Structure 1
Amino acid sequence: MLSNFKVVLVETSHPGNIGAVARAMKNMQMHELRLVTPKFFPHADATARASGADDVLKSACVYPDLPAAIADCRIVLGASARDRTISWPALTARQCAEKWGGNPHNSPNIGLVFGRENSGLKNHELDLCHYLLRIPCNKAYSSLNLAAAVQVVCYELFVASGQEQTTNVGDQGEVPIATTEQMEAFYLHLQQTMADIGFLHPERSKSIMRRLRRIFNRTQLDTKELDILRGILRFSQNHNTK
């Protein structure tokens, strides 16, 4: 669990957004949510949008101001899509993850601060941050939904921490790839079947078979798939002889 990262929401106006943020956090194994003077919390809309991330909502702490919410943080990043007049150190979500997400257990407490839905963070709040946190996106439309922004950042941290899980669908990887000998037997069977049903003409047989070889070689058939195709060919031959 990425317990050293604290997601801080400042003056969130819509309680549903708080619930959606809780859900986004739990998806990525992050659980510490801090709320700075939310307009409505707790609220039924927050619970509904959390979709099962009730534990994140229940453990969320409410603070009177941003300094109190980040008091124990050694590094603070403030999310901002707007350019600032004064130059400010900036990191993208991925750069943040690369810098601190790779070894979260040895990283300091890090606050990830997200501002109001309609206006973001104010300048005096950004003054408390060490970095601007950026999410690269369409320059013509750079305003992200609050929960979407949190999801992107949490995802990058999750991947960088090495907790990304790989899954196999069905029997992927369990059935061996067909051997060259098995494939050659299939091609002979295929050529004979096409000749039997009158599809293959002698003057075109070489070019057609060459193209068919290219198709099946690209797919890298496994033995189970090859058995199915051979079964279809046998059925076609038997049906044609009746």
Structure 2
Amino acid sequence: MHTRFILLNTSHAGNVGAVARAMKVMGFEDLVLVKPRWPDVLTRIEALERASGADDVLRQARIVQDWEEAVDGIEHLCATAMTPRDFGPPTVEPRAHFADLVRQQQGSAEQPPLRSLGLVFGSERYGMFNEEVYRCHACISIPTNPDYGSLNLASAAQVLAYEWRQALGGFQVAEAPSVTSARRADAGQIEGMLAHWQQMLTGIGYLDPAAPKKLMPRLQQLFHRAGLHEEEIHILRGIARKMQQCLKDRNP
């Protein structure tokens, strides 16, 4: 579904850049600004710095002078306001409302499919005026701490961009490449390493050969559970060699 982020009367260039970044990381690119404080806001250094690589979103963003041009082509508008109104569109929680919009995207016998969504954000100082909220189909309120619900413009944009992307199916988390070259240590390698450790633990006085108790069997079980690789055996043998060298240096 086509998605547009609409910023009304934005006063801080840095927030515009941060919104562009929030959009790009969630795969959105249509940004429209209505009467921002700075006519050159899209190229101001604060915007470019906060965009942090989302310069392409800023380059294709549009500045318009009225509401009608900003919302042209958008079928469903969501206002963003923390304070519920006693009149106007229903106040909704984003996750549930976005899930409903995805269902509408499929269409039904009664309604054609929903094809576009606009997320509307007010100015940093005043938010959205009632008249602007009334023009929207729904008023989204992000659930926050009831004692402190103040969200920065860019933070609110990031939350809604994430929730909307998740509703649309989300992105897959990139998995770390598997280490195919690593080989598990065999029983003989582990036994050799343990014998080396036993020698060094005795040398530093940690293991008493006269009363060893179950120290070595416990270490053996620990290393078995760890599923050691050959490279890790080399590391443990290296530790034992360093212990051996230290003992020689102390007792020449």
Q: TM-score, normalised by structure 1?
A: 0.77
Contact conserved, 1:175 with 1:224, CA < 8 A, in 2? no
* 2:127 alignment counterpart: 120
Q: Percent identity?
A: 35
Q: Structure 1 residue 166 and structure 2 residue 174: aligned?
A: yes
Would you say how many aligned residue pairs link Structure 1 and Structure 2? 235
3-state SS, counterpart of residue 127 of structure 2: coil
* 1:42 alignment counterpart: 40
Task: Give the C-alpha shift of residue 131 in structure 1.
Answer: 2.5
* 1:152 alignment counterpart: 159
Distance in structure 2 (CA, Å) of the matches to 1:85 and 1:214: 66
Contact conserved, 2:93 with 2:143, CA < 8 A, in 1? no
Q: Structure 1 residue 88 and structure 2 residue 90: aligned?
A: yes
Q: 1:108 to 1:179 in 2, by over 3 A?
A: farther
* 1:78 alignment counterpart: 79
Q: TM-score, normalised by structure 2?
A: 0.74
* 1:60 alignment counterpart: 61
Q: Structure 1 residue 135 and structure 2 residue 104: aligned?
A: no
Contact conserved, 1:15 with 1:41, CA < 8 A, in 2? no
Q: Structure 1 residue 31 and structure 2 residue 32: aligned?
A: no
Distance in structure 2 (CA, Å) of the matches to 1:62 and 1:72: 16
Aligned residue identity for 1:85: D
Contact conserved, 1:91 with 1:131, CA < 8 A, in 2? no
Distance in structure 2 (CA, Å) of the matches to 1:220 and 1:91: 47
Task: Give the C-alpha shift of residue 219 in structure 1.
Answer: 5.6
3-state SS, counterpart of residue 191 of structure 1: helix
Q: Structure 1 residue 195 and structure 2 residue 202: aligned?
A: yes
* 2:109 alignment counterpart: none
Task: Give the C-alpha shift of residue 89 in structure 1.
Answer: 4.2
- Please say which structure displays the higher CA radius of gyration: 2
Per-residue Cα deviation, 1:54-89 (whole angstroms, up to 9, x for no partner): 322222122333343223122222222223335824
Distance in structure 2 (CA, Å) of the matches to 1:109 and 1:198: 73
Task: Give the C-alpha shift of residue 224 in structure 1.
Answer: 1.7
Aligned residue identity for 2:143: P
Distance in structure 1 (CA, Å) of the matches to 2:221 and 2:148: 44
List runs of 5+ in structure 2 lacking aligned partners.
107-112
Task: Give the C-alpha shift of residue 12 in structure 1.
Answer: 0.8
Distance in structure 1 (CA, Å) of the matches to 2:129 and 2:34: 13
Distance in structure 2 (CA, Å) of the matches to 1:76 and 1:178: 57
Task: Give the C-alpha shift of residue 200 in structure 1.
Answer: 0.9
Task: Give the C-alpha shift of residue 221 in structure 1.
Answer: 4.0
Q: 1:218 to 1:107 in 2, by over 3 A?
A: farther
Task: Give the C-alpha shift of residue 35 in structure 1.
Answer: 1.0
Distance in structure 2 (CA, Å) of the matches to 1:64 and 1:25: 22
Contact conserved, 2:194 with 2:216, CA < 8 A, in 1? no
Task: Give the C-alpha shift of residue 39 in structure 1.
Answer: 1.8
Distance in structure 1 (CA, Å) of the matches to 2:234 and 2:98: 47
List runs of 5+ in structure 1 lacking aligned partners.
none
